[in-house]
Amino acid sequence: MFSRARGLAWPSLFSVTAGQGALIVTADVPVAVSTRVAARHAEGDYATFFAAFDGADTIVGGSSKTAFGVPQTASRRTHLLLFNNGDAGTVTVVGYDAKGNAVGTLSVAIGESQAVRVNSVMEQLGAPGQSLGRIAVTSVPGMQLYAETAEVDAATGDVDFARLK
């Protein structure tokens, strides 16, 4: 167990330079866990923190959670990040435009202990050009699904993360 994991970089910890996945932290005492995501650019640096998920944050089998304000424009795009800590299954993602009209549905197969990223989710739902889209994510029985959005600024690559509610 790390008593202090501050400053660990993915290349030194996992021998990778790029990728995606999930890190599960368990402890028998209270701990605070967060992620710092940073990018360095000639125009300036950007960083953000995001608190770790709690077990209560999951979308348990058969339930849904929603992400609001999901843009897909020339200047902002939103990716959907999913991690399944339960049985393999298929997640349903339904997209809505700013007026509440359903614009498309995706089925995403996710294995046990698998992380999946749906790039530019509103575009994949058939709704590019949305500045205020919404998505609803539903899991199936047996899944223990964690979900968040990653909103990316096209000009800078800056990323803001949000949990589904």
Q: Which of 19-23, 74-78, 108-112, 153-157 has the lowest mean pLDDT?
A: 19-23
Global model pTM greater than 0.95: no
Per-residue pLDDT tens for 128-155?
Answer: 998 989 999 999 999 999 999 999 988 8
Q: pLDDT by residue (tens digit) across 13-48?
A: 666 666 666 777 788 888 888 777 777 777 777 778
Q: What is residue 20's predicted lDDT score, i.e. its pLDDT?
A: 64
Which domains are delineated in the chain? 10-51 (no CATH), 55-163 (2.60.290.11)
pLDDT digits (tens, 9 = 90+) for 78-99: 999 999 999 999 999 999 999 9
Tokens of 130: 């949305």
Instruction: Give 12's pLDDT tier (boundaries 50, 70, 90).
Output: low
pLDDT value at position 44?
A: 76
Whether the Cβ atoms of residue 104 and residue 90 lie closer than 8 Å to each other: no
Q: What phi-psi label fits residue 113: left (phi over 0), alpha (psi between -120 and 50 degrees) or beta? A: left
CB atoms within 10 A of CB 121: 27
Q: In the numeric block, which tokens belong to residue 1?
A: 């167990």
For residue 63, give both structure tokens: 């339930």
Q: What local confidence, expressed as pLDDT, does residue 35 receive?
A: 75
